Amino acid sequence: MKVLLLNGSPHPNGCTFRALSEVEKTLQQEGIETEIFFIGHDPIRGCMGCGMCRKNKLGKCIFGEDAVNVVIKKMEECDGLIVGSPVHYAGASGGITSFLDRMFYSTGGFPYKPGAAVVSCRRAGSTAALEQLNKYFMMNNMPLVPSAYWNMVHGNSPEEVEQDLEGLMVMRTLGRNMAWLLKSIDAGKAHGILAPAAEPKTRTNFIRKCEPAKKEDEEKNFAPYFISYNKVNKEYQEEE
């Protein structure tokens, strides 16, 4: 069993790496193979929505000049994915956002492979960034691995992260939970419990025309509110 840990920071050995290393160490102690992959400093283009990946069922992005397709290939051999990012302006880094947009859009994600995100920040914006990253898993049938508290470390340098004992405890717990889930899925498979068959996708775009509300309907729907509003307002004015 193997877990890929994506380092979406511009710093190969920064705070995000420190957090991911703690998860990695625990995974290894639990007998899980690991690889930390640094997304690098080269530009990562965003998804341009050309749809060629889906139209031609490529299973990868048509742009091959960066590491997106390399990681897609690696995921074939991996059973779980952990995405790490620093908090940039209360969101995930621009690099990892572009990376994940193209990776998930072109593949449809990695269904039934557990995933988790971890973030590192100096001070704030971490819950927003974490929520942003968790959505890639939640929309793609990837079980979200929990921990004992928020998946985040605080600090502006790896040395400062070292002092965030709670953050590091959360990282170790995440590693143990990921290992437990992978082993549980494996044990389930051995007993014939396979991933559920996918239902054909239904897509509805929110483009329905709204008819303007009829006056009598409006009165019927809002009358109770007006009555109670007028009553409260009248009592208030009488008190005055």
Ligand X SMILES: Cc1cc2nc3c(=O)[nH]c(=O)nc-3n(C[C@H](O)[C@H](O)[C@H](O)COP(=O)(O)O)c2cc1C
95 binds ligand X (CB under 6 A): no
User: Which range in 43-51, 116-124, 140-148, 203-211 contacts ligand X by CB under 6 A?
Assistant: 116-124
Distance of alpha carbon 179 from alpha carbon 31, whole angstroms: 8
User: Contact between 48 and ligand X (CB under 6 A)?
Assistant: no
CA distance 71 to 169: 28
Is 20 a binding residue for ligand X by CB under 6 A? The answer is: no
**Cβ closest to ligand X, residue 53 vs residue 152:** 152
Whole-angstrom CA distances from 72 to 60, 149, 214 are 7, 29, 53
Length in residues, the chain: 240
CB 159 within 8 A of CB 151: no
User: Taking CB under 6 A as the rule, does residue 53 contact ligand X?
Assistant: no
Who's near 62: CB < 8 A, 6+ residues apart? 50, 52, 53
Under rule CB under 6 A, residue 14 binds ligand X: yes
Whichever of 89 and 180 has its CB closer to ligand X, that residue is 89
Task: Identify the residue among 124, 144, 213, 227 touching ligand X (CB under 6 A).
Answer: 124
The reply on whether position 123 binds ligand X by CB under 6 A is yes
CB contact at 8 A, 160 and 154:
yes
Touching ligand X, residues 156-175 (CB under 6 A): 156
Helix ranges restricted to H, the chain = 15-29, 52-55, 68-76, 94-107, 126-138, 158-162, 165-190, 215-239
- The closest alpha carbon to 161, from 119, 120, 130, 118, belongs to 120
Tokens of 48: 């341009």
Contact status: 37 vs ligand X (CB under 6 A): no
Nearer to ligand X, 87 or 103 (CB): 87
Beta carbon nearer to ligand X, 12 or 31: 12
Residue 116 contacts residue 178 (beta carbons within 8 Å): yes
When the beta carbons of 36 and 181 are compared against ligand X, the nearer one is: 36
Task: Establish if 90 lies at the interface with ligand X (CB under 6 A).
Answer: yes
Name which of residues 68 to 87 contact ligand X (CB under 6 A): 86-87
Minimum distance between the CB of residue 124 and ligand X, rounded to whole angstroms?
Answer: 5
Q: Identity (one letter) of the amino acid at 201? A: K
Q: How far is the CB of 96 from ligand X (least distance, A)?
A: 11
The one among 15, 72, 92, 152 contacting ligand X by CB under 6 A: 15
Query: In the complex, what is the shortest distance from the CB of residue 44 to ligand X, in angstroms, rounded to a whole number?
Result: 15
Q: Which residues contact ligand X by CB under 6 A?
A: 9-11, 14-16, 86-90, 120-125, 155-156
